[in-house]
Amino acid sequence: MSFLKKFSCLLVIFLVFVNLIGRETIASDGEITLKEAINIGFQRAKEWNVNATLTKVTSVDETMGGSRGEAGKRFNWTLHFIVPGTDDYVIIGISEKKIWLFRPIKQSLPTIPYDEIKLDSSDVLRLAKDKYGLKPGKDWATGYHFTLDSIDGIPILTVFGNDRDSRFTRISFHAQNGDVVSAIHKLPYGGGLLSKRIGTNNLTKKGMAITGVVAENNNLVVWGDKKPTQFSTTKQPFIEWSHNNGESWTELPVNNYVTHAWVDRNDKLYVGTEKELWAGITTKSKGTKILSLDHIIETIDYSINNHIAVLSNGNIYYTTNQGESWEQAIVPKPFYVVQISDNGDLVGLTEERKILQKTNDGWNEIIMPNSNNVPDDIKVINNRLFITTQSGIWTRNLQEENWRKIQVDEMIVKLIKKGEKLFGYTYRGEAIYSISTKDESKSEKVFDANDSIVWDVDIMGDTLWIATIPNYSWEEMKIQQRR
């Protein structure tokens, strides 16, 4: 097995321990290097079994302040010891120089003799900075992180961080002589806004994370992040408007990252951010704030005549007059989806996959067309409910009880509503179907995703607009051997 493949397997173990502990303090006296952590762990391991031998060390993410690995030191470490020739194995967790975890288990892994560890975490960090300009990680695995493993009998000391372009990076050194064994970083590929016509495809905004698209009434609106990383799509958030089918774009004055957007029948643009909802945004004005909440907006829905429903912290805020006034409804159970009809009816899909409709008497469950059906997603268009299940897509009027089935060639796991248009994703977004909302005619496949990660979709005229985000893969950096 190649070094890269073996290290990829070991990285999975590393990820399990990242973010394991979260405590707040500003003290940094408890930070220690990798070798200092080994010395503390060895004492306890020898008490457990005099033959205990080191097999792995991992630093652990935390929110305790301090240097976050800047000097090769962390507050928290996880060490693994094994008794050679047996499957007796112990995991030891260290926080601020004290052992907080001692967990014997059964497992077999290669050992690392202590005298083979010539370099410390502070040493490899200095080398990584000098050779590759390594910077501290952000958003995830914050600061610098370190692992020590035995790969093909060689002790490998690895430092994790970001490269100069904020891309997740890991650089591995021979723990005896400091030679660079591997230097790789996660590079993005794909991402952008794809327009698809019959026989032609065009990709714009390449490399961006396009998280939403609206194509309505000759208006095209897209939003997302201009400079995404693997762990964040809010680095350089933007929203742009085009009035000429994407030939030119104008950035709109929104100060926060956008989570939802739509255009009503009067071409008025509505934009939802983390905790606010704005109406009437133009290229010269950020519009009017029509809703501001203390908690994060989890989801937003709007009807054809622009009734609006917002789910936040177990409450639904809804309006039937475009935000002039709002009413509030308490969610009886945690909701996964909330929808609002042209009549102002509220419908929700619970986390237990039950469909509830609000009435004057409270919330009543909508009976499924088949007792074995479990809804994966729901949407309400006009006054009609659409659900997707393993058995297919079903629809009924909210005021009726007769279900009708819509034929589709593949199982749809997610629905996307754009005004009166309805789309469906297959598993992992591998294909997109256009679903008729006027009758029960067969759904049409409109896009095969292939390697694209599709986040949103809309259609205007003969053009399908597809919002995609980048994927990431490990790529080699130029390896420089120590001289």
Is residue 118 in a domain? yes
**What CA–CA distance (Å, rounded) separates 321 from 112?**
69
Q: What share of the chain is helix, strand, coil (3-state, %, to 5)?
A: 10, 45, 45
The DSSP secondary-structure symbol of 197 reads E
Residue that terminates a domain, selected from 167, 185, 203:
185
Is residue 221 in a domain? yes
Q: Do 288 and 423 share a domain, yes or no?
A: yes
**Amino acid at site 65:** G
Q: What pLDDT was estimated at residue 463?
A: 93
Q: What pLDDT was estimated at residue 479?
A: 60
- Give which of 395, 439, 438 is closest to 415, Cα–Cα: 395
Q: Do 339 and 446 share a domain, yes or no?
A: yes
Question: pLDDT tens-digit profile of 323-373?
Answer: 999 999 999 999 999 999 999 999 999 999 999 999 887 999 999 988 788
Q: Do 179 and 232 share a domain, yes or no?
A: no
Q: Which residue has the tokens 């004005």?
A: 285
Residues in contact with 216: Cβ distance below 8 Å, sequence separation at least 6, in sequence order: 262, 263, 418, 419, 458, 460
Q: Do 128 and 259 share a domain, yes or no?
A: no
Is residue 249 in a domain? yes
Q: What pLDDT was estimated at residue 3?
A: 44
Is residue 477 in a domain? no
Strands (E), 331-452: 335-340, 346-350, 355-359, 362-365, 377-381, 384-389, 392-397, 404-406, 412-418, 421-426, 431-435, 444-448
Sign of CA dihedral 380, 381, 385, 391: negative
Residue that terminates a domain, selected from 185, 208, 223:
185
- Give which of 427, 434, 429 is closest to 449, Cα–Cα: 429
Q: Do 165 and 220 share a domain, yes or no?
A: no
Number of structural domains (the chain) is: 2
Q: Do 229 and 179 share a domain, yes or no?
A: no
The DSSP secondary-structure symbol of 429 reads G
Q: Do 123 and 47 share a domain, yes or no?
A: yes
State which residues of the chain have pLDDT below 70: 1-28, 479-483
Q: Which residue has the tokens 């690995």?
A: 69
Q: What pLDDT was estimated at residue 480?
A: 53
Q: Do 345 and 449 share a domain, yes or no?
A: yes
Q: Do 393 and 450 share a domain, yes or no?
A: yes
Is residue 335 in a domain? yes
Cβ contact 87:42 at 8 Å: no
Q: Do 69 and 164 share a domain, yes or no?
A: yes
Instruction: Residue 15: give the domain boundaries.
Output: 3-185
Q: Do 134 and 218 share a domain, yes or no?
A: no
426: β partners? 412
Residue that terminates a domain, selected from 185, 213, 237:
185
Q: What pLDDT was estimated at residue 286?
A: 85
Is residue 481 in a domain? no
Is residue 408 in a domain? yes
Q: Do 165 and 213 share a domain, yes or no?
A: no
Is residue 176 in a domain? yes
**What CA–CA distance (Å, rounded) separates 267 from 165?**
39
